Each structure stands twice: as structure tokens, then as C-alpha cells.
Copies of this chain bind each other. A is one copy, B any other.
Amino acid sequence: MGTMSQESALIEQVIEQPDSLVISPPSDLSSYNHIQPFVYLEGDNDNDSKTTTSQTNHNVLLILNQKITIDLISLWNKCEIIVCADGGADSLYEYFSNNNNNHHHPNLQRSDYIPDYIVGDFDSISPDVKAYYQSHGSKTIRQSSEYYNDFTKSIHCIQLHYQLNHENGNWFESVNNVDGLAKLWDSLDHTNRGIDITIYVLNAIGGRFDQTVQSINQLYIMNKIYPTVTVFFITVNDIIFLLKKGVNYVSFTNRLTFHKDDGLPPTCGLLPLSNSTPIVLTSYGLKYDMRNWKTEMSGKVSSSNRISGETGFIVECSDDIVMNIEIDV
């Protein structure tokens, strides 16, 4: 009998839901992963000074090398520190040359938006841009190692900043310019729980496809190595993040924060890109809700799904899986 009911519970199902649902948070508060992807779009976006949304969580903006096509300023103002990976500094510099970006913020001054750190092998940053930001106070950390990419070097920099900067604002000056960040990071005691850091990354997705896939690869790897670091990739189309093995509750103030009302709920996808598939999904609050639904590449993938939950939804997954949610404001 027990076996019977277990079997029936494992029947694979897709349930078409109404466009609007109210989903309560999971009942056991201690045992789920709570994700709030749109905090950076909520609240005081037009405040022109850097603020933090929370005293307990550190928000960081990381800019990679590609043209910036989103409204940068709202995100900038939510972040404690800003890091440019190599040519990401050129992208930032260029952003202030393009008047099209500035209709929300007509009085933008390049000199008011200076990154805290510029990190990388410096094979793509232009000398003028580097000189400009150095003269305005950016800390430049050259790391020539080909073993680490600019993204990974930047992650080391961000974590070291939170471990060391409050003791010594010049902590980076003694690192060697090959792989000093990695060496310094490895030398520290990581036995205590890591620091909670949320990193919003621009330009990691949507350029050359091998870079896109490497970014996704790093998303999986970072979750294993640094479980207290949360990464959101932001593109002009969507936000991309990891749902962790177990129960995930994704919440927001309301759907209008990230999706203008066009009569249809916001679009999303659940993307089984890891080496550990199939993944079994059960969801509450999606348009096409799944029960024990097996997903894998070369098989079934939930794309063009939609979010019916007015303030959030729940996804239970048998292993880490990538999610994207359309941003359309």
C-alpha cells in the first residue's frame, strides 16, 4: 500500500494554472532557499547616492566587457562596491558617452560613477580609460594568470575586499600581479562560514556563446565552492540565477516590478545545464506547474513558461538548476 501511494505520488504531471495565483511561503521556514531576484528594482531607485538595501547583506555590481544595454543607475545605487573586470571598465566609460542611456537620468556625470576596483589581465582595457579611473580613485589590480579568467579574478577580489578591507584599505597592494588574488584567498582561513554577498553581474550572458556557457558553468561551480555568495546575471532580456537542490522560494513585491502589464504573466524557464541530469522538478505558482517532472537536455526543457504567483512561487528540485525570468519594464 505504501509503495502504491509512493508510486502515484511520482506520476509526472504538468498542470495548467490560471494567470494569477497567491502562493504562501513554504511552511518550514528553516529549510528552504529564499531568493529575491528583484530587490534591486524595488524601492528607492532614483536616489542618486549609493545605498544598501540591507545591513546584513552585501550587494556588489560586477561589470564584464560588453556594451551595457540596461538602465545601470538603479542597480549601481543599490550596490556597496562596484568592480569592473578588465574591459568592463571600457563598457562603463562608454555608457556615459551614449546619450540614449540617459533619458531616465539626464544629469549623469561619468565622474560620479567610479568603480571601486578594476581587475583582470588588462589585455582589453584601453590605456586612456584605465588612466581616467585611476586618477578618479579606482583601485586597479592586474592579474596576468591565464589559469583564472577575469570573472574568477573579480570574484576573488570581491571576497577578499569583504574579508580584509575593513582592517586594511590597501590590502591588495602586496599581491603579486600574476595570481596574487588567488594565492591570498587560498591562504586565508575559510573554516568559518563565508560572508553573505550578492553579486549582480552585467554582460556575462548574451555575447560570444562560449563566454555565456562559461558564465553558467561558473554559476554552478561557485555555488559549490562559495555557498554564501549569490550571483544574478542581468541581461537586457532577463535575470538568470541558480535554484539550489531542495526547496526554493522565489519572492518579489509584485510582478509589475519587473514586468509591465501586457495581459500575460512574465515568462520564465528552468534550464537543466549541469552535469547531473535528469532533474526532477515540482513547482507551485507557475503557469505550467510541474509535479515530479523530469527535465534534461536532449529531452524535455521548460521554456516559455510563465509566473502565475503574484508575489512568488516555489520550485523543488532534485539538484541545482538554472532559472531565468524575463525582465520587461
Contact = CB atoms under 8 A, between A and B. Distances in A.
Contacts of A274: 297-298
A162 to B, nearest CB: 25
Nearest to A208: B237
A208 B326 CA distance: 7
A298 B224 contact: yes
B210 A324 contact: yes
Interface residues of A, number: 44
Nearest to A320: B298
Contacts of A216: 297
A99 interface: no
A25 interface: no
Interface string A202-219: 000111111111101100
Contact of A238 (B209, B269, B302): B209
A111 interface: no
Interface in A27-48: none
B269 A217 contact: no
Contacts of A224: 298
Contact of A271 (B149, B210, B238): B210
Contacts of A63: none
Contacts of A237: 207-209
Interface in A276-309: 276-278, 296-299, 301-305
A231 to B, nearest CB: 14
Interface string A232-257: 00010110100000000000000000
Interface in A112-129: none
A214 B298 contact: no
A240 B211 CA distance: 13
Given A273-B273, A275-B278, A278-B275, A208 B297 contact: no
Interface of A: 149, 205-214, 216-217, 220-221, 224, 235, 237-238, 240, 267-278, 296-299, 301-305, 322, 324, 326
